[in-house]
């Protein structure tokens, strides 16, 4: 309650007294929180170990009233952390984690050897640019091509037909990716540079499930 509802220790003690008739001093409340943190520390370490040994980890951060909220999702564990600093990705040690990190390409996530740019963030950025400047033909074209590429890659990922045909379709999809990224330098250049790793990983991970 102290972290999630932002109640002070004084108000927390008042609520315990009002609802449950439990009279606690601030020192007792603080001691209980410290005791819980010590008891949960081994479980927290276990969760971090499971993350570090995962093949693919999706990570995202959003602002909160107390620092940030971090969410980590893998095939082994799901963790949501409240009140963590913006560099919360350091909970996934770069020297121990050998898997693929899927993120929004924030600065704190750029030190990992294997990284995939999140399609949701990339497409959302393209939509935002288009809405902010609806008269920009470049932004409209960028968004249209990006959505087309994403849908083609998702269909390819789900294709279970003969390998030879899949190879041809994958080659065509990759040529489309290269064409989209080879456009002259412009306001969308930064976002275009994020596409190759994102696209190539669609059919090898569950990123569009």
In sequence order, what DSSP letters do the residues of 67-110 get, joined into one string? SEEEEEEESS-EEEEEEE-TTGGGGS-TTT--SEEEE---GGGT
Tally the domains of the chain. 2
Residues 37 and 133 in one domain: no
Q: Write down the pTM of the prediction.
A: 0.60
Which of 116, 132, 158 is a domain's end point?
A: 116
Q: Which residue has the tokens 């008269």?
A: 135
For 174, the token pair is 């990759």
Q: Can you give the pLDDT of all 209 residues of the chain as single tens digits?
A: 544 445 677 887 888 888 888 888 888 888 887 888 788 888 888 888 888 888 888 888 887 666 778 888 888 888 887 767 767 666 777 777 888 888 887 777 777 878 877 888 888 888 988 898 888 888 888 888 888 888 887 887 777 666 677 777 777 777 777 776 665 555 565 555 555 555 444 444 434 33
Which of 116, 139, 173 is a domain's end point?
A: 116
Q: Is residue 174 part of a domain?
A: yes
Q: Is residue 136 part of a domain?
A: yes
What angle in degrees, to the nearest 10, is found between the helix axes of 137-158 and 163-181?
160
Q: Domain span at residue 97?
A: 9-116
Instruction: Give the span between the Cα atoms of 208 and 47, in whole angstroms.
Output: 25
159, containing H or E segment: none
Residues 101 and 62 in one domain: yes
């Amino acid at each position: 309650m102290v972290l999630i509802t932002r109640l002070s220790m004084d108000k927390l003690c008042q609520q315990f007294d009002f609802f449950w008739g439990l009279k606690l001093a601030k020192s007792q409340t603080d001691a209980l929180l410290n005791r819980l943190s010590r008891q949960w520390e081994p479980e927290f370490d276990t969760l971090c170990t499971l993350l570090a040994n995962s093949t693919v980890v999706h990570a995202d951060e959003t602002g909160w009233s107390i620092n940030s909220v971090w969410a980590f999702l893998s095939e082994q564990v799901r963790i949501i952390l409240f009140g963590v600093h913006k560099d919360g990705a350091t909970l996934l040690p770069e020297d121990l984690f050998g898997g693929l990190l899927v993120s929004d390409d924030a600065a704190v996530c750029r030190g990992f050897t294997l990284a995939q740019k999140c399609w949701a963030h990339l497409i959302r950025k393209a939509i935002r640019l288009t809405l902010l400047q609806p008269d920009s033909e470049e932004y409209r074209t960028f968004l249209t091509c990006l959505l087309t590429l994403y849908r083609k890659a998702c269909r390819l990922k789900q294709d279970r037909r003969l390998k030879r045909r899949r190879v041809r379709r994958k080659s065509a999809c990759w040529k489309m990716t290269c064409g989209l990224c080879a456009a002259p330098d412009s306001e969308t250049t930064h976002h275009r540079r994020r596409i190759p790793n994102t696209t190539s990983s669609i059919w090898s991970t569950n990123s569009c499930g």
